[in-house]
Homo-oligomer: A and B are copies of this chain.
Amino acid sequence: MSIINTIYGNTEEGKEFLKGLQNREEAVHEEITQKVQVILKDIKENGDKALISYTNKFDSKNVNVKNILVTKEEIEKAYESVEKEFIDAINLAVENIKFFHEKQKRNSWMITKDKEVVLGQQVRPLEKVGVYVPGGTAAYPSSVLMNTIPAKVAGVRNITMVTPPLKDGSINPNILVAADIAGVDKIYKIGGAQAIAAMAFGTETVERVDKIVGPGNIYVAMAKKSVYGNVDIDMIAGPSEILVIADESANAKYIAADLMSQAEHDKLASSILITTSKELAKKVKEQLKIQVEKLSRKDIVLYSLKNYGAIILTDNMEQAIEISNNIAPEHLELCIKDPFLTLGDIKNAGSIFLGHFSPEPLGDYIAGPNHVLPTSGTARFFSPLSVDDFVKKSSFIRYSKEALLDVGDKIVKLAETEGLTAHANSIKVRMED
């Protein structure tokens, strides 16, 4: 049995595979939908009381209203229990993430026109942001940095983090240290749909926020979608993917390693190599077999490679790029000779990794661009998390009397065409004077 399937891009089989990729969604049972709705309503109505009750039930019996907020002492203790090398690595990551996101900042602007007309756009940071951080095995300090730093760079002054406590009521120290270095203001020991509800509606203890970001399980994802409109949320995340486009210049060992770095995330993760080289395809398969033996998550890797992974052979590069654009991958590696020259042809991708020494984990941790990326083909319309996600804009308009009189008739005409006579009246009273 093969570790990964090989498919020819321009065949029916190829098309079937690509279609299947889009249906990787986790099945949402009616039961889950209802449970989430009950939790949201309960928190909205009963605040802290409900919040503590769910936390005691699902996460830890040691959390109560008095210790739900992580203390300075807990953070200091966390620093003592993490490795110095970890802190060094986090510090480098923070520096690079800040550097990149600083370039995304935008100014307010204004323009003047004749007759004392001024138009403009004011850009302001959101006031309060909530960051959800999963607990347990998916407790990723890198995710704390990627969700928090763009908000800090945008100028958000009030960042609340929530994360489910361990059974003993504590929080993973790596998470606490990362949050502290990134500049989180408050950390609450809560998780699940109840934590999302607390941040969306507010409770006696937890302040309502303007936007909720961060990944979570199906309960968290559904709760976020439900409260969307009460607060803003980041994108809706689905199963993730890596797509590698490679030519004969590529290194099979590297590509195999990169495919598996995505495959280990999740049974639904998809790792795809598209290449014109049969020779490379063969070598990558060999390397997958060799390297998978070293991996702690071997079972997940094998499952996702087998079910959602593929090596797709194409006749030429154009075909490879077309398939990639249709998939709209979260991560795209261009392991080809002149990757910069291909950048312009890439229509849909979350993050693009150029050349043989820019593997996906470089972007996950250290390079600086955000690792929160549009998944499951949503790179067609969603973008990487950025400073833009933590600001709001207001437009402004200033007309003089003279300038208004110049266009008054036209406004009245449009308003009356639309049957909105009070709109027309607002202009007319000014024209009469």
Contact = CB atoms under 8 A, between A and B. Distances in A.
A403 interface: yes
A124 to B, nearest CB: 7
Interface string A72-96: 0000000000010110111011000
Given A89-B410, A366-B414, A384 B395 contact: yes
A414 to B, nearest CB: 5
Interface in A96-113: 100, 103-104, 109, 111
A415 interface: yes
A140 interface: yes
Interface stretch (A5-13, A53-61, A291-299, A315-323): A291-299
A395 B139 CA distance: 25
A248 interface: no
Contact of A122 (B109, B140, B264, B352): B352
A15 interface: no
A18 interface: no
A126 B347 CA distance: 9
Given A232-B378, A358-B397, A386-B393, 14 more contacts: A88-B413, A89-B413, A100-B119, A139-B418, A225-B228, A260-B425, A261-B420, A291-B425, A296-B421, A346-B394, A351-B397, A361-B423, A383-B393, A384-B395
A247 interface: no
Interface string A359-379: 111111111111000100011
A149 interface: no
Given A92-B410, A397-B369, A361 B424 contact: yes
A424 B360 CA distance: 11
B425 A261 contact: yes
A309 B86 CA distance: 57
A387 B385 CA distance: 18
A183 interface: no
B119 A410 contact: no
A430 B119 contact: no
A263 interface: yes
Contacts of A160: none
A429 interface: yes
B264 A422 contact: yes
Contacts of A427: 359, 361-362
A418 B141 contact: yes
A83 B90 CA distance: 65
Interface centre among A89, A111, A381, A409 (most CB of B within 10 A): A381
Contacts of A343: 122, 396
In the A-B complex, the 9 residue pairs with the closest CB atoms:
A369-B395, A354-B398, A89-B410, A383-B393, A264-B422, A229-B236, A232-B381, A352-B396, A361-B423
How many copies, total?
Answer: 2
A401 to B, nearest CB: 5
Nearest to A230: B378
Interface string A128-150: 00000000010111100000000
B378 A174 contact: no
Contacts of A349: 394
A180 interface: no
B426 A380 contact: no
A166 interface: no
A381 B211 contact: yes
Nearest to A264: B422
A174 to B, nearest CB: 6
A246 interface: no
A392 interface: yes
Contacts of A104: 121
A36 to B, nearest CB: 15
